């Protein structure tokens, strides 16, 4: 039996963050379906927004889990989140238009089993273990589906394994120039993993405050989204990919500035260090 070490005073309750995260993420991922309805690719960037919502929620889940001494460091929670999430996500993409909802159900079943194994079979005996591992599996799957749908403009499996390549000026359909066939999914996997394991690992400590940690999570999410937007140039039209890049960039600059402000607020003192200048006139 472990002792609960630390939890932020005040702030938004975890249940509300979870509700905002899951609804926001699902709505944003479903908005990419407008691509199919309207026949454009311009709505792809909503997938990235959905992934940012999921990262934002997952950071608070990691905080709730790691406030008990799990003994393995914060990044391990991010790794199991993405590791189990990718398995649930790839099966869910086979479900067509029901993919995001199906993903939540598949990931929840997988997460409950993994949580049960850690809590009961491995004798961790942490009260929140089953719930948080379930949440983290859903989060990992939502991040991957969000980024994947941002890169390809669709959350259907068939669109993730087919792509087009130009061969002597003629467009040819090919399996290797696709999200899965080109192993872009592995890059998305790591981008999501870094984004989810970093924020609490960076902000934890006696001076941890919830709004700063959550802002760091949003910042990391948008930073990963920039990289996904760059990769989406390979699959989307230039204007759609450009819009995604723009949204990600604006989001990142805004959250980064806010994060710096919150860090200054929480710091005891702040010195704007300047680069060392050479003395004028030479020595």
Partner 1 sequence: MSALGGAAAGGEGINPTASVIGIVILLVALGITFFIASTGGAIALIGIIIGGALIGFGVHFVPVGGAPAAMGQAPGIATGVAMLAAGAGLAGLFGGAWAAELGFAVALGAGAVGGGLMMAITCMMVNVIYVFGMGIPSASGKVDKDPITGDTFPEYKSQGTEGHGLPFISYVGGVIGGTLGGLGGTLIYVELLAVYEAALPVIYNAPLEEILPVAVSLAGIFAVGMFLVNAVLTAYNITGTIEGPHDPKFKRFPRAIIASAVASAVCGMVAIMVVAL
Which one of the spans 2-10, 23-31, 217-225, 269-277 is the region binding partner 1 (CB under 8 A)? Answer: 2-10
What is the Cα–Cα distance from 153 to 167, expressed in whole angstroms?
23
Can you tell me which of 30, 56, 147, 189 binds partner 1, judged by CB under 8 A?
189
- Report if residue 125 touches partner 1, rule: CB under 8 A: yes
Burial 57-79 (b: 16+ CB within 10 A, else e): bbbbbbbbbbbbebeeebbebbe
Residues 6 or more apart whose CB falls under 8 angstroms from that of 191 comprise 147, 224, 227, 228
Q: Count CA atoms within 13 Å of residue 65 on its CB side.
A: 32
- For the window 139-158, what string marks contact with partner 1 as x by the rule CB under 8 A? ------------------x-
Q: How far is the CB of 186 from partner 1 (least distance, A)?
A: 6
- Report if residue 170 touches partner 1, rule: CB under 8 A: no
Can you tell me which of 20, 31, 34, 87 binds partner 1, judged by CB under 8 A?
87
What is the Cα–Cα distance from 281 to 283, expressed in whole angstroms?
7
- Residue whose token pair is 């999921």: 54
Phi (first) and psi of residue 167, to 5 degrees: -120, 105
- Report if residue 266 touches partner 1, rule: CB under 8 A: no
Residues 6 or more apart whose CB falls under 8 angstroms from that of 141 comprise 84, 85, 86, 88, 89, 92, 103, 104, 106, 107
- For the window 27-66, what string marks contact with partner 1 as x by the rule CB under 8 A? ---------------------------------------x
Binding to partner 1 in span 197-216, by CB under 8 A: 201, 204
- Report if residue 91 touches partner 1, rule: CB under 8 A: yes
Catalog residues that contact partner 1 under the rule CB under 8 A. Answer: 1-6, 66-77, 79-80, 82-88, 90-91, 94, 106, 110, 113-114, 116-118, 120-126, 157, 161, 174-176, 178, 180-183, 185-186, 189, 201, 204
């Amino acid at each position: 039996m472990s002792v609960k070490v630390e939890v932020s005073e005040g702030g938004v309750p975890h249940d509300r963050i979870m509700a905002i995260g899951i609804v926001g993420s699902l709505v944003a991922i479903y908005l990419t379906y407008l691509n199919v309805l309207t026949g454009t690719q311009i709505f792809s960037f909503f997938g990235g927004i959905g992934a940012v919502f999921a990262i934002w929620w997952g950071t608070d889940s990691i905080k709730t889990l790691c406030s008990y001494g799990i003994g393995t460091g914060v990044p391990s929670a991010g790794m199991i989140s993405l590791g189990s999430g990718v398995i649930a996500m790839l099966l869910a993409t086979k479900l067509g238009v029901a993919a995001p909802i199906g993903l939540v159900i598949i990931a929840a079943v997988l997460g409950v089993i993994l949580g049960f194994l850690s809590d009961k079979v491995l004798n961790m005996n942490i009260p929140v273990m089953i719930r948080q591992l379930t949440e983290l599996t859903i989060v990992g799957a939502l991040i991957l589906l969000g980024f994947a749908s941002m890169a390809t403009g669709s959350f259907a499996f068939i669109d993730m394994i087919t792509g087009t390549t130009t061969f002597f000026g003629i467009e040819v359909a090919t399996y290797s120039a696709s999200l899965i066939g080109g192993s872009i999914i592995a890059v998305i996997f790591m981008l999501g993993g870094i984004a989810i394991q970093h924020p609490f690992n960076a902000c934890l400590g006696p001076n941890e405050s919830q709004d700063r940690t959550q802002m760091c999570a949003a910042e990391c999410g948008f930073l990963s989204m920039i990289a996904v937007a760059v990769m989406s140039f390979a699959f989307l039209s230039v204007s759609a990919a450009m819009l995604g890049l723009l949204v990600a960039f604006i989001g990142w600059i805004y959250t980064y500035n806010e994060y710096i402000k919150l860090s200054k607020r929480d710091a005891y003192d702040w010195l704007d260090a300047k680069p060392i200048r050479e003395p004028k006139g030479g020595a």
